[in-house]
Amino acid sequence: MTPFDYHAPKTLRSAMRLVQAFGDDAKVLAGGHSLIPSMKLRLAAPSVVIDLGGIAGLKRVTAGNETITIGALATHYAVESHRLLPSKCSLLPETAAEIGDAQVRNRGTVGGSIAHADPAADWPATMLALDAQFDIGGPDGERAVAASDFFVDLFITDLQPGEVLTGIRIATPPENSGGAYVKMRQSASGFALAGVAAHVTLDDAGNCASVAVGVTGVAPAAYRARAVEDALVGQGIDAVADASAHAADGVEEFQEDHHASGDYRAHLARVFTQQALSQAIERAA
């Protein structure tokens, strides 16, 4: 690594002052699973590192009857192991359990993963499927951004200079709801070659009153499969196969690398959308 100054603020207010004071010269450290490797490879060379790890208030996870809140510094394992989340919103611990390995889940943070916006990360798909709201602090105060507006492009989000993601808020799903996350893992890293998170709420007849599908690993940024959602609202599980055929509709550019072609990723998006929706509907029922 290149030399850098290290700051470890104990409060969010102190952290925000440092972020705004050093501007583009600084990088914020959460779990470090993205920033530290980038610094070792000199893909990132900040002159200042601001470690948020000492801010206890950003580590809490609460599962209320109306709202689920996840602090930006909550680890993946904190979500995976939370005693109330399986009954409140099982899609969250299910997604957390799919991330990396035990060491990664115990150190990596939910907020760090979301802010980094790796195109193959798991959380973006689930946050999209749950219509999450992201709380952001910055020089102009606090603001909230919907997950559907947050992920812009490859490693690009709606975070502006001087801003920090501080937490996630999700409306607690009603009882007649279900979710599922399905992915194909890259064998070495555990990242998703393609991953789909689905969340549905059923009406009294057993049809889909609301549907949300988030897809990761397929395009430069995670996206909502709106065509699938539109095709399935008001329908039952028999319509899942036809609706899932639209999982890659509207994607202008597919991810291409030596692990998988764009065509294969589009195929996986359709297959995993069908699997995730089928599981979500069965769980909701």
Domain CATH code at residue 263: 3.30.390.50
Indicate if 61 and 121 belong to the same structural domain. yes
Instruction: Provide the pLDDT for residue 79.
Output: 98
Domain residues for the domain of 27 are: 5-51
Residues of the chain by 3-state class (helix, strand, coil), percent to 5: 35, 25, 35
Which of 3, 115, 18, 8 lies closest to 56, judged by CA?
8
Indicate if 42 and 63 belong to the same structural domain. no
Residue 128 banded pLDDT, cuts 50, 70, 90:
very high
Domain CATH code at residue 38? 3.30.43.10
Segment 82-100 shows an average pLDDT of: 97
**pTM of this structure:** 0.96
Indicate if 23 and 92 belong to the same structural domain. no
Res 121 pLDDT > 90: yes
Q: How many structural domains are present in the chain? A: 3
Indicate if 41 and 140 belong to the same structural domain. no
Q: pLDDT tens, 221-278? A: 999 999 999 999 999 999 999 999 999 999 999 999 999 999 999 999 999 999 999 9
Res 102 pLDDT > 90: yes
Indicate if 192 and 118 belong to the same structural domain. no
Res 129 pLDDT > 90: yes
Res 189 pLDDT > 90: no
Integer Cα distance of 61 and 70 in angstroms: 5
Q: Is 252 in contact with 282 (CB distance < 8 Å)? A: no
Indicate if 68 and 39 belong to the same structural domain. no
